[in-house]
Amino acid sequence: MDTQTINQELFSYIKQSPTPFHAVASAAALLSSHGFTQLLEQDIWDLQPGGKYFITRGKTSIFAFRMPATPVSKAPSFQIIASHSDSPCFKLKNPSELTVDEHYTKLNVEKYGGALLAPWFDRPLSLAGRVILKKDDNITSTLVDIDRDLAMIVNLAIHMNHSANDGYAYHVQTDLLPIIGSGQKQPTVRSLVAKELGVEESTVLSSDLSLYNRMDGRLWGAENEFLSAPRLDNLQCAHASIKALLGPCHPDILCGAAIFDTEEVGSHSPQGACSTFLKDCLKRISYSLGFTSAEHLQALAGSFLVSADNGHALHPNYPGKSDPTHHPYLNGGVLIKYAANLKYTSDALTGGLFQLLCEQHDIPCQSFFNHSDEAGGSTLGNLAMSQVSIPCVDIGVSMLAMHSPYETVGAKDNLWLYQAMAAFYQTKVYCTGDGSYRLIPS
């Protein structure tokens, strides 16, 4: 795998994934094409040595895993990479159409997550998500992506807001409503969705739709050293984890990739990191193999989790926002993230272990700490630990413009992120029982 190939594959995955529904469907399609079998939570699981499986919950979270290659005599330890499928955006209220002077149609939206608002203006947007259809006495769920320039959140001219460049407090309910139509015929989202799906409008019951940025990912810079795209936080880590899981894995461990939804709004959902989704999956794996609850807990004690979510790079225009002694750079390598408030789960042991893994595979890495007077974001590792207690490290890559609809990372870092995840799956993290670890390669 080279830098150009992994970057183009990331661009393709992001384009196919305008919403968490699509991100999980795209991941499931990639897994299926590589021999993974879908399991259902309501079914009995028959797991085979060397088997490859995945489960979804809510159609916005997924857990994929590979069984140890040979039959096991004790419950296998788990090595898991966790990321998330959602990104800050605007979700439609249903119905959402608002008319102005019987000429403009705009959409009523609400903010999802901690979005940077200003960059959403004056760029092509469209709608995507999940649609619920009725058929006789049943309902079915399908995905929709109106793949064309459909809407725009249009700025107010400087002549009408002379203080716009002095700082402006945007109000979502009034300033961030996108225009979608003009003229005597006022379009409805329901009619647009029905036309896109080729169904009668009367069959559309409800929908979960979001606005998304239509701009494709791009490489830029004097030597194409920068990579920008929508939803890099956190589809970049999600893509790298699934891609790594398709490759070789250590034969003695169970390798898994979990992609959770709703991380940007606290993870408190049936398919979020705070839910029982991961815990339920791991329990069912052990129990389906015939192991007891005590043996399952023994397996967890020897397991390891990598929480993968991007962090902040030193911004050249705002260097004072970064910690004075820790300056992560774009193209500086994989981040290992630390926080005294435990918003990141890394400690000296788990962070040092991952650093050693990177060093053994010639993968550059750098440490990340927030500026002590600037509150940083959280991620999903510490939330997942509220359900499943496993030693954990927080990693990612450094990023500029996090939570913008168009974010920026280093073009080289994407390959190093994938290589670090692949190395994690190919190396058994062995807990000696006395608080130390050994790294055992395949």
Give strand pairing partners of 89.
112
Give residue limits of the domains in the chain. Answer: 3-87+230-441, 90-213
Residue closest to 80 by CA, chosen among 348, 278, 296: 278
How would you classify the pairing of strands 365-368 and 334-337? Answer: parallel
Give strand pairing partners of 254.
78
The answer to whether the beta carbons of residues 99 and 181 sit under 8 Å apart is no
Strand order in the sheet with 138-145: 138-145, 125-135, 204-213, 89-100, 104-112, 179-182
Give strand pairing partners of 91.
110, 210
| Helices within 87-231 (DSSP H only) | 172-175, 189-197
Residue closest to 405 by CA, chosen among 261, 232, 266: 232
Q: pLDDT for 121-179, tens place per residue?
A: 999 999 999 999 998 889 999 999 999 999 999 999 999 998 889 988 999 999 999 99
Strand order in the sheet with 334-337: 37-38, 52-57, 61-66, 254-260, 78-84, 304-308, 392-396, 334-337, 365-368
The answer to whether the beta carbons of residues 72 and 94 sit under 8 Å apart is no
The answer to whether the beta carbons of residues 224 and 74 sit under 8 Å apart is no
Please report where in the chains the tokens 């979510």 appear, as a residue.
Answer: 309
CA–CA distances in Å: residue 418 to residues 1, 225, 264: 9, 17, 23
Q: What is the pLDDT of residue 365?
A: 96
How would you classify the pairing of strands 218-220 and 138-145? Answer: unpaired
Amino acid identity, position 422: A
Neighbouring CB atoms inside 10 A of 330's CB total 21
Domain 90-213 has CATH 1.10.3730.10: no
- Cα separation, 308 vs 241, whole angstroms: 9
Give strand pairing partners of 97.
107
Q: Is the dihedral of CA 5, 6, 10, 11 positive or negative?
A: negative
| Helices within 267-312 (DSSP H only) | 277-288, 293-301
* Residues in Cβ contact with 359 at an 8 Å cutoff, skipping those fewer than 6 apart: 365
Burial of 119 (0-12, 13-18, 19+ CB in 10 A): middle
- Cα separation, 330 vs 339, whole angstroms: 20
How would you classify the pairing of strands 365-368 and 392-396? Answer: unpaired
Spell out, as residue ranges, where the chain has pLDDT lower than 50.
none
- Cα separation, 300 vs 304, whole angstroms: 8
Which strand (E) or helix (H) includes residue 416?
Answer: helix 411-426
The topology (CATH level 3) of 3-87+230-441 is Aminopeptidase (3.40.630)
- Cα separation, 52 vs 38, whole angstroms: 9
Burial of 84 (0-12, 13-18, 19+ CB in 10 A): buried
Q: What is the pLDDT of residue 387?
A: 80
- b/e sequence 367-386, b meaning 16+ C-beta within 10 Å: bbbbeeeeebbbbbbbbbbe
DSSP state of 171: -
Please report where in the chains the tokens 């993974």 appear, as a residue.
Answer: 36
Q: Do the two domains 3-87+230-441 and 90-213 of this chain adopt the same fold?
A: no
Q: What is the pLDDT of residue 385?
A: 72
Amino acid identity, position 329: Y
Question: What string of DSSP letters covers 232-244?
Answer: HHHHHHHHHHHHH
Which strand (E) or helix (H) includes residue 96?
Answer: strand 89-100
Q: pLDDT for 299-351, tens place per residue?
A: 999 999 999 999 999 999 999 999 999 899 999 999 999 998 888 989 999 99
